Structure 1
Amino acid sequence: MKFRRKAAPEDTTTEVTDDVADPSASAESGPFDADALADSVERVDLGSLLIAPSEGRELRLQVDETTGKVAAVLLASEDGAMELQAFSAPRGGDLWSEVRPQIAADITQRGGQVAEREGRFGTELLCQLPVKRADGTSAVQPSRIVGFNGSRWMLRASFLGRPAVEPDTAGGWEDALAQVAVRRGQQAMPVGQPLPVTLPENARKVP
């Protein structure tokens, strides 16, 4: 599996190769709590996120070069991408139900449209957001946002491209999401704070 580190604003990359077999799509469904993992899947350890290999998809890390911190974690392919973010949440709470209306309100205020649908992981958001292309022309960017409540954490996945506009055919992407594990840690954190993501030790820049 290849990993690509994309820096912002410069377009430099880091790539790592790891010959780990793709886990079976029939494996018990997650997302999982890292402290309670019972399978033998070898995942890439990014601190709060443990990502399993996914056939045909590349793990990309967007890094803020001024701070050295990972700004975004994505699985990407030619037809789409899935961005992953984990947040601190109350034990036994339902943070996704709390933040979902806030996300919808923010997109609406920015001139977009939002609708809800019931999917594999519960209530999702289907979003249409106006954006400006690099050449100055306007476009609409579709996305599909999924939330999953764990034990003192919430995982949010934002699908872009084909898995956003064709959710009924995005089973492979959802299988990849179901193999993610979240490591909350024992430290006290405010509800809704992003959990820290770290670069893997074997990450390296390439020209």
Structure 2
Amino acid sequence: MVVKFRRKSAPSHRGEASAPVEDASVEGAPAASTRAEPAAPPVGPFDIASAPDGLITDDWVDLGSMMLAPAPGKELRLQVDEKSGQIAAVMLTADDGAMELRAFAAPRNGDLWNESLPMLRDDVQQRGGATADLEGPWGTELITQMKVKLDDGQPAVQQTRIIGVNGPRWMLRATLLGRPAMEPSAGKEWEGLLEQVVVNRGEEARPKGEALEVKLPPNARRVEK
């Protein structure tokens, strides 16, 4: 299922320095108090309860447990599990790559991402792949490489970059594929999209690690394979 984005998302400010404030003191006059530099805009992913005022607008996509800002040039694809009929993953896709998003229930003040890392490493290695840790904007990330066959039968190596973000009683996992997973410059745009994700966990008691339900937005359309 696919949702088309049409409007431009707000620019990312993570990592940008604030403009310096000029000294307004006059020679011979008492020194003026130093003005504080303006605080950098907050970046996410955000919890629904602490998202900045005015961040979410009418053109955002509401998926129940996640809300996404418009992303021009990207398609939002919802992968449905054929057996259960439930949405298994959310994918933002473009010509150069994709980002998969999954949200999970977590304990209050827990660190589900670092608990999950050993299991993710083991799973990849047991399937013949290689893993490496990388320190990124949100802490430790996981780089994986798996041997695959291309459509023409030629062997290749598929690399992914997996990012985990701990929130209040939730954990958001983002998996980058394609150029965004291999080239830091290509990954910056996708990091900006991740910064604007808003997670709505709900108040229900949930087992640790349970996937948060993704709901189909009203403007989705089914795409046949």
TM-score strictly above 0.5: yes
Deviations 1:35-56 (A, max 9, x none): 2222323221001111111232
Determine the structure 2 residue equivalent to 1:24.
11
2:132 is aligned with what amino acid? A
Consecutive unaligned residues in structure 2, runs of 5 or more:
14-40
The 1:82–1:206 alpha-carbon spacing in structure 2 relative to 1, beyond 3 Å, is: closer
1:39 is the counterpart of 2:42: no
Q: Which residue of 1 aligns with 2:189?
A: 172
* 1:72 paired to 2:92: no
1:82 aligned residue (93, 99, 104): 99
Give 2:71's match in structure 1, choosing from 40, 44, 54: 54
1:113 and 2:100 are equivalent in the alignment: no
After superposition, what is the alpha-carbon deviation per residue over 1:148-168, rounded to whole angstroms, capped at 9, x for unaligned? 000000000000001111135
**Structure 1 residues 168 and 188, CA, compared in 2 at 3 Å: closer, same or farther?**
same
Task: Say if 1:23 and 1:54, in contact at 8 Å, map to a contact too.
Answer: no
Moved more, 43-52 or 19-28: 19-28
Match 1:141 to one of 129, 133, 158: 158
User: 1:108, 1:168 → 2: CA distance?
Assistant: 27
Separation in 2, partners of 1:168, 1:115: 19
- Corresponding residue for 2:176? 159
Whether the aligned pair in 1 keeps the contact of 2:165 and 2:171 (CA below 8 Å) is yes
Which runs of 5 or more residues in structure 1 are unaligned? 6-14
Q: Tell me, yes or no, if the aligned pair for 1:129 and 1:142 is still in contact at 8 Å.
A: yes
Give identity over the alignment, percent.
52
The total of aligned residue pairs comes to 194
Q: For residues 220 and 98 of structure 2, what CA distance do their matches in structure 1 show?
A: 21
CA distance in 1, matches of 2:85, 2:78: 11
1:101-137: CA deviation from partner (whole Å, max 9, x where unpaired): 1101110111000000101111101110123445555
Q: Separation in 2 of the partners of 1:116 and 1:206?
A: 36
- C-alpha deviations, 1:6-37, integer Å up to 9, x for none? xxxxxxxxx44564442222353100001222
163 and 17 in structure 1: CA distance in 2 versus 1, 3 angstrom threshold = closer
CA distance in 1, matches of 2:141, 2:204: 29
Q: Given the alignment, which residue of 176, 179, 192 partners 2:209?
A: 192
Report the RMSD for the aligned CA atoms in angstroms: 1.9
Q: 1:133 to 1:34 in 2, by over 3 A?
A: same
- Give the partner amino acid of 1:205: R
